[in-house]
Amino acid sequence: MIPEMKKQALIIVLLGGWMAGRVWAAPPSTHRPRAQQAALWITDIHLNPYTVPGLVTRLQHAPLRRWRALWLAALRHSPRPAGAKNSYGAYGMDSNALLLDSALAAMRKAAARQGRPAFIVITGDLLAHGFHHHFLAATPQHTQADYDAFVQRMFRYVIARLRASFPGVPLLPALGNNDSDCGDYQPRPGAPFMSGLAAAWSGLLASRHADRQFAADGYYSVRLPLAGGAHPVRAIVLNDIDWSPHYHNGCGTPRDAQAGAEQMRWLRATLYASALRDERVWVMAHIPPGADVFSSLNHTGNACARPPVMFLAASYNRELVTLLRQYAAIVRLGLFGHTHQDEFRLAGAVPLKIAPSLSPIFGNNPSFTLLRLGGGRVKDYRVYRMNLAASHPRWRLEYDFDRSYAVNSPADLPALAPRLAADAALRRRFQGFYNAGSLAPNFSRLAWPDFRCGISHLNAASFQRCACPANAKTAPAALTH
């Protein structure tokens, strides 16, 4: 049995009705999924309407059904941004509407051989970086209501494009740090913005219960429509922006400041309930646990010069990693975004996959991921990318995980980590995939010893012991991003 199961059973009973509405999702559908399935995964879209002068004002005054035509026409008739070799954008910039459209078309094509996708995972950050700042510059006479309405309509536009491209396919969205009407790292659970956002997603999630909980809290759990497995599979989708050290309760109530602790209690109870039901679990969120190795090196080039920068606040990072390790018997996979690169972490035996982004702002090529499913698990995944340096870029398969690493499935990521450390040829292959084949400076190659420590050393002290065994490590020159 899971440790402390009897003690936690008492907690579940005491929490009673509060937990009942939040842990147990709607009954699974009677529809029988196919034994061989596929799911799609896109992250960090960062859609940017500010690259074309005057476009934001035109979009504000147009019905949503006309946005796509207006946006694409504006891109066709405007000069390309500096450094752009094509109309899809340039490295160092967020995504435009044409890049999003091309990605959705490529996703349909990639999934076609498997039939209709079982679901689509979206691990956060639909809005461009600095969205509020750019809105202020583009609309000097705006009101707060103007901004709130525009943010809502941006979300509705992305959702409408997904709906049109994949009608009837369930969506599994997680909130990113840019996905707020208040500002970066400032979510407002239960606010009118969240209610409006949930209404836009309504009917696209896998259950009505998930719709309601997403509106109230920004997180939810839901049974996945997977076929062929011996156990049902539940997705636990977190809103871990509350757990970031950058989190700021700038627009909420004093009670909202406690949302992070409340969510951690919910996660603990939900994992326990899944163990009782003998479910298997996928955990999804925007921000991964562990050290932000890039930021830890970015100022001095030396991971030993100061304490490492962590993606999550210390107490939340510790609790999340502890829970993942404690429930390793049922937690089979973690899916995350945020870094924009193709990488992974290990919480003990639990593989945490981080997907490369659609946005090319950090010098990476735009990407999305196809998950091949069977037997109630991820059997393999494939990453597709567009070479943004080409004059006439096309979406192509970058790599197939099983074939590239000679493993059976992503469940073997824990075994891959020591092989990367020992096998220089295999490591070069991994490093080539890190930024989706871009020729931009490759952080995983420039700082491999520190990067390697970040894979499995997920708390600050452990990472420093790995990266700084003598506390006198010489590291690469300072990096810029």
Please write the tens of the pLDDT for every residue from 225-283. Answer: 888 889 999 999 999 999 999 998 878 777 777 889 999 999 999 999 999 999 999 99
95-99, 208-212, 238-242, 294-298: least confident range: 208-212
175-189, 349-363, 373-387: least confident range: 175-189
Instruction: Please check whether residue 472 lies inside any domain of the structure.
Output: no
For residue 96, give its domain range: 7-23+34-467
Find the CATH number of the domain harbouring 176.
3.60.21.10
**For residue 416, what pLDDT is reported?**
95
Residue 2: pLDDT above 60?
A: no
CA dihedral 465, 470, 471, 474 (to 10 degrees): -110
Give me the amino acid identity at 453. C
**For residue 481, what pLDDT is reported?**
34
Q: Which residues contact 258 (CB under 8 A, 6 or more apart)?
A: none
Cα–Cα nearest to 329, from 415, 381, 376, 271: 271
Instruction: Please check whether residue 265 lies inside any domain of the structure.
Output: yes
Instruction: Please check whether residue 478 lies inside any domain of the structure.
Output: no
**Confidence tier at 471 by pLDDT (50, 70, 90):** low
Instruction: Please tell me the pTM assigned to this model.
Output: 0.90
**For residue 303, what pLDDT is reported?**
76
C-alpha–C-alpha distance, residues 195 and 389, integer Å:
40
Encoded tokens for 282: 């996928």
C-alpha–C-alpha distance, residues 149 and 143, integer Å:
10
C-alpha–C-alpha distance, residues 135 and 150, integer Å:
9
**For residue 363, what pLDDT is reported?**
94
Q: Which residues contact 417 (CB under 8 A, 6 or more apart)?
A: 346, 452, 455, 456
Instruction: Please check whether residue 317 lies inside any domain of the structure.
Output: yes
Under a CB-based contact definition with an 8 Å cutoff, are residues 365 and 60 in contact? no
**For residue 15, what pLDDT is reported?**
38
**For residue 48, what pLDDT is reported?**
97
- DSSP characters over 296-351: HHHTTS-TTSSPPPBSS-HHHHHHHHHHHHHTTTTEEEEEE-SS-S-EEEEETTEE
Domain count, the chain: 1
**Confidence tier at 1 by pLDDT (50, 70, 90):** very low
Report the chain's mean pLDDT, rounded to a whole number: 87
Highest mean pLDDT among 8-22, 246-260, 394-408: 394-408
Instruction: Please check whether residue 17 lies inside any domain of the structure.
Output: yes
Instruction: Please check whether residue 140 lies inside any domain of the structure.
Output: yes
Residue 211: pLDDT above 60?
A: yes
Choice between 183 and 462, residue whose per-residue pLDDT is larger: 462
36-42 and 120-122 beta bridge pairing: parallel
Instruction: Please check whether residue 481 lies inside any domain of the structure.
Output: no
Residue 170: pLDDT above 50?
A: yes
Instruction: Please check whether residue 473 lies inside any domain of the structure.
Output: no
**Confidence tier at 192 by pLDDT (50, 70, 90):** confident
**For residue 34, what pLDDT is reported?**
55
74-83, 100-109, 294-303, 304-313: least confident range: 294-303
Share of the chain above pLDDT 70, in %: 88
Q: What is the mean pLDDT of residues 337-343?
A: 97
**For residue 304, what pLDDT is reported?**
84
